[in-house]
Structure 1
Amino acid sequence: MWGRIAALVILLVAVVVQPASAAPERPDWVPCGVGAECAKIAVPLDWDRPDGPKITLAFNRHRADPAHRKGVLFMAPGVGFDFLLTDVRAGVFAMFPGLLRDFDLIGVDLRGGGVHPFTGRLPAPVRSDAVDCGLPVHDPGVTVFPRSAVEVDALVRHNRAYEASCAGPLPGHLDTVTQAKDLDAVRAALDEERASFFFYGYAGPGQAYARLFPQRVRAMAMDSPLDHSVPVVVRAAEYASTVEHEFTRFVAWCRRSVNCVLHGQDVAAVYDALLRAADRHPVRLDLPPEPGRPQPQQTTVAVRGDDLAFLTEQLLEIGDLTLPGGGMGWADLATAIQQARSGTSPVFAFVYRYSWGFRDLWNPMRAGMCEDYPASPADLLAARPLVAGLAPHTRGASQAWDALSGCVGRRTPGTNPPRPAIVRDAPPILIVGAEGNPWSPYGNVARVSAQIRGSVLLKYAGDAHIAFLSSPCVAGRIEAYLDDLQLPARGTVCPAIPTP
């Protein structure tokens, strides 16, 4: 169950870019996983210096049925995720039998390393070069919602100390444009003239790839992509409003469902009181072991209301998705609130571990976000009162705020700051967005679609971090498009699945 929580915890003109290399490196395949084969290639650390230092990029493939093969299909969430597909017969991939049959499925361990979004870090004989940092990404003693110049200075000092603790040359070379060029290097190494792509979650490399390499795209689906066209202050406001709206939907669910442990109570008032109490007397969280790391003695953190608001947002992201073992984002949030009223919460502790406390995920994700969404102290000060007014219960906590507050003061420059990424010459692209999605608000997804000429926007009318995981309707339309190039009609809406 908690591995899924970890998961569900992503340019103004069209440019034709030549293939990554005139003589691409060919992969030397070795067996890995269940029926898979793994390989690695060397790619430039800096694509603007193709003859400069190189890094390792790892990937693997599951071969299609030769009698039905239509090409290769890349499966890629985004920076922070190791997507080596060690067993495609189980889990999410079983939802797409046609894709399993008809395509060589390509999973890439994106530069910077990371974790597999469904199972944690996977055993494999190859790895991409990874980001490792000596300090934790978050210090509970430093608020991410500074209310004074002193608190802003403390946040900047922490961010710079954390940044300085990250070893190796990768920081500064983890933006989505760089990731897209890496994917094209893998395509070239596979000797495929065109490829299909399925991006979800972060999905940032998808839009960048379609802009840079439109002639290389056979088909591309993006579920819940992140928009890169608006300033970070506007982005923080949009996300704050969406998280607050999702919180009101959670409260309404508790009002009507006996599956909410707070059923019959004034949930909003209970939650507000919890955050105020935690500001005075922090909630103790005994964190579970960190996946894939040597285990120290029990790690305990004391969190105040601002941190609880962020952990709340993490559970709201999961929305109405039912998890293995019977858990659900909303149900677990209600349990976490109930637990925290007594001064501790195992549920919030798990969420902390699988977000801020999950270094293999958060280190590359934070570095990549800061290159795509750089922020200044002035941005922070402008956004703070705005998000507070938009989100009286959740305080403005969101993934956008985590990036804004976590990137303030960093010395590594933002290599890919927000701007539209107009795509003109690609084949039709399928864009999917959920009505209730704190990770990628629906307006955010609609803007992505508007920047891609000829794209089709498919809406899921429910609450979901990634729509296809909650909706068989969405999953079926994605498969029909990627497999047979059958796009849904414009304006198609997949109905919400009632939440028990």
Structure 2
Amino acid sequence: MLVRTAAAVAGITAVTASLIVANGASAEEASTPTPRIAWKDCNEPIFQGMDCGTMRVPIDPSRPSTGTTQLALVRRPADNQAERIGTMLMNNGPGSSSIEQLRYAMIGQLDKLGGSFTKRFDLLAVDPRGVGHSSPLRCDVPLKGRGITHFPATEAEFNALKAHNKALAANCREKNGPLADHVDMASTARDFEYVRRALGEKQLHWYGITYSNLLGRTYAKLYPGRLRSMVLDTATNDGLPPVERMADEMRAAEDSFNRFAKWCGTSESCALNGQDVAAVYDQLVKKANAEPIPIGTTGRFMNGEDIQTATQGHLVMKLVTWGPFGKALKQAIDGDASLLSVDPDKTLDWTQAQIQACQDMPPAATNWRQYANLKTMADEISPHLGGAVQSWTYMAGCLGWPGAAKHSPASGPVNGAPPALILQSTHESLAAYNSGFGLAAQLPGSQVLTNVGDDYTMYMISPCVLENVDRYLADGTMPAPRATCATPS
């Protein structure tokens, strides 16, 4: 009896493994026992009534010697368990903690504004490997050392940037071991399959923002049929060549800045009201390049390049960040860059984002001549920001980084993905409006819901978006063709 039972178990295991391999997993992954999630009651007040968990997953199933890494999870049970639909994975941007995203959503009254998200779904925040609370990557070498510029004007400055990046990469690998080389999108997507198996769910639901929209696409490509729905907020399109993708982002950020400058110069709620804000900004950048502005009493300074690099993040949500950005610019003009130096995204770790990017994003330039040509393009299409957008920061930070990016865009339609509802604003600093349609083309049956405005995370601020998303989550009903929403003013 024992032998027959063992044989039966072995047979079931073999069948299960073959099904998993057929769905895109490796043989090594299929043979890996499903990790267990160790759940306990969360002890932080903001997470009261929620479950906090950890689980260990293989760093690289094909190389057991690389060991395991620990993931951190927080689960908020659905309010209405009788009408519960399933588990919604909450995901964030590159290098950004999903658990901290959930924290700030709760502070922002997610309980009251969350619609079907909170009523009918268990919300599950899983920090990606190496990010946030999941065995976070730590490095001792700064992303930009003293005298290093991400916008080199000479070949010597370009070579100095590459040398600095090599030293950074060596330090990160020394401090973090094999994990530092395994935070690419495919490895991260594999972890979510381990999570699904550990939960015992047949299918999951996906909510993504920017980077994690592509992560969700990658998960659906590797594990067809494992997602039931996808709500993708502020899509980027990695199907474009790297230069075109960067140019789109530059145009989007420059457009956002121009809209901010117009609003700020005419709004009584902006600290620079009544001024030519674009001209004031340009003068601030020029002055800071000549004489960096102190950041309070920290002993640190911001130059003009630093100000331009920080700007995109201060433009992401008109309703939330534009007013404080005007105040930060005014403070910098008065000689203190303290407010300007703080990224509005409190969930983000730039070092962790940089390491992810070096493994996922093919570079738009790899040598000095290519780099100089791109700077010419940046100055032409982004005269105020000078092309200082995230994709440029990642490209600059990855020069000299060992190994090639493991980028794997969809080469064609991802037939294993559910039709996605893509929420795309017409004027968002992180992603061009047309990017939403590029991603929709990769996911058959998907639809873009246009939001006329300057914000992302539209679900919590636009009743129109909330209504359309709730309907889609309930039964898959898409918005009417050419449906458009608008951010409340």
TM-score scaled by structure 2?
A: 0.85
Counterparts in 2 of 1:195 and 1:140: CA distance versus 1, 3 Å? same
TM-score scaled by structure 1?
A: 0.83
Write the deviation string for residues 105-133 of structure 1: whole angstroms up to 9, x where unpaired. 2111210122xxxxxxxxxxxx5222111
Is 1:45 matched with 2:37? no
Is 1:451 matched with 2:451? no
State the partner residue of 1:313: 312
State the partner residue of 2:376: 385
Counterparts in 2 of 1:50 and 1:186: CA distance versus 1, 3 Å? farther
Matched residue SS, 1:198: strand
State the partner residue of 1:110: 128
> Which of 217, 241, 251 does residue 227 from structure 2 map onto?
217
State the partner residue of 1:413: 404
Q: Name the aligned partner's letter for residue 193 of structure 1.
A: K
Q: Aligned-pair distance for 1:451? A: 1.2
> Which of 54, 60, 72 does residue 87 from structure 2 map onto?
72
State the partner residue of 1:259: 269
Following the alignment from structure 1 to structure 2, what is the Cα–Cα distance between the partners of residues 278 and 219?
A: 47
State the partner residue of 2:76: 62
Following the alignment from structure 1 to structure 2, what is the Cα–Cα distance between the partners of residues 236 and 88?
A: 30
Task: Provide the alpha-carbon RMSD of the alignment.
Answer: 2.5
State the partner residue of 2:337: 345
State the partner residue of 2:144: 138
Is 1:163 matched with 2:169? yes
Q: Is the 8 A contact 1:433 1:442 kept in 2?
A: yes
Counterparts in 2 of 1:225 and 1:178: CA distance versus 1, 3 Å? farther
Q: Aligned-pair distance for 1:79? A: 4.2
Counterparts in 2 of 1:480 and 1:89: CA distance versus 1, 3 Å? farther
State the partner residue of 1:485: 476
Following the alignment from structure 1 to structure 2, what is the Cα–Cα distance between the partners of residues 195 and 234?
A: 33
Counterparts in 2 of 1:217 and 1:263: CA distance versus 1, 3 Å? same
Please identify, of 275-284 and 330-339, the stretch whose mean Cα deviation from structure 2 is larger. Answer: 330-339
Counterparts in 2 of 1:408 and 1:18: CA distance versus 1, 3 Å? closer
Following the alignment from structure 1 to structure 2, what is the Cα–Cα distance between the partners of residues 50 and 99?
A: 38
Counterparts in 2 of 1:92 and 1:447: CA distance versus 1, 3 Å? farther
State the partner residue of 2:281: 271
Q: Is the 8 A contact 1:200 1:225 kept in 2?
A: yes
State the partner residue of 2:110: 93
Q: Aligned-pair distance for 1:92? A: 5.3
Counterparts in 2 of 1:160 and 1:82: CA distance versus 1, 3 Å? same
Structure 1 stretches lacking a partner, 5+ long: 1-14, 115-126, 287-297, 323-328
Q: Is the 8 A contact 2:217 2:417 kept in 1?
A: no
State the partner residue of 2:17: none
Q: Name the aligned partner's letter for residue 251 of structure 2.
A: S
Matched residue SS, 1:273: helix
Q: Aligned-pair distance for 1:360? A: 6.8
State the partner residue of 1:119: none
Matched residue SS, 1:253: helix
Following the alignment from structure 2 to structure 1, what is the Cα–Cα distance between the partners of residues 483 and 277?
A: 34
Q: Aligned-pair distance for 1:25? A: 2.6
Write the deviation string for residues 332-359 of structure 1: whole angstroms up to 9, x where unpaired. 22222222223323321323xx67xx89
Q: Aligned-pair distance for 1:165? A: 2.1
Counterparts in 2 of 1:259 and 1:18: CA distance versus 1, 3 Å? same
Following the alignment from structure 2 to structure 1, what is the Cα–Cα distance between the partners of residues 462 and 128?
A: 27
Higher helix fraction: Structure 1 or Structure 2?
2
Matched residue SS, 2:488: coil
1:239-388 equivalence runs, <5 A: 239-286=249-296, 299-318=298-317, 320-322=318-320, 329-351=321-343, 361-375=349-363, 376-378=365-367, 379-388=370-379
Counterparts in 2 of 1:172 and 1:259: CA distance versus 1, 3 Å? same
Aligned length: 450
Q: Is the 8 A contact 2:235 2:436 kept in 1?
A: yes
Q: Aligned-pair distance for 1:18? A: 4.7
Is 1:83 matched with 2:98? yes
Q: Aligned-pair distance for 1:176? A: 1.6
Q: Is the 8 A contact 1:112 1:174 kept in 2?
A: yes
Q: Name the aligned partner's letter for residue 69 of structure 1.
A: R
Structure 2 stretches lacking a partner, 5+ long: 1-21
Following the alignment from structure 1 to structure 2, what is the Cα–Cα distance between the partners of residues 426 and 113?
A: 26
State the partner residue of 1:16: 23
Matched residue SS, 1:272: helix
Write the deviation string for residues 50-104 of structure 1: whole angstroms up to 9, x where unpaired. 6852222222322334322222111111442332357986535322243323222
Counterparts in 2 of 1:142 and 1:275: CA distance versus 1, 3 Å? same
Q: Aligned-pair distance for 1:269? A: 1.5
State the partner residue of 1:3: none
Q: Name the aligned partner's letter for residue 322 of structure 2.
A: W
Following the alignment from structure 1 to structure 2, what is the Cα–Cα distance between the partners of residues 336 and 372?
A: 33
Runs of 4+ in 1 over 6 A off after TM superposition: none
Write the deviation string for residues 449-488 of structure 1: whole angstroms up to 9, x where unpaired. 1111110111111001433344232233223322343321
Identify the structure with bigger relative contact order (alpha carbons < 8 Å, sequence gap 6+).
Answer: 1
Matched residue SS, 2:273: coil
Q: Aligned-pair distance for 1:377? A: 3.0
Following the alignment from structure 1 to structure 2, what is the Cα–Cα distance between the partners of residues 217 and 404?
A: 32
Q: Is the 8 A contact 1:113 1:131 kept in 2?
A: yes
Matched residue SS, 2:38: coil
Following the alignment from structure 1 to structure 2, what is the Cα–Cα distance between the partners of residues 338 and 88?
A: 29
State the partner residue of 1:326: none
Q: Is the 8 A contact 1:44 1:51 kept in 2?
A: no
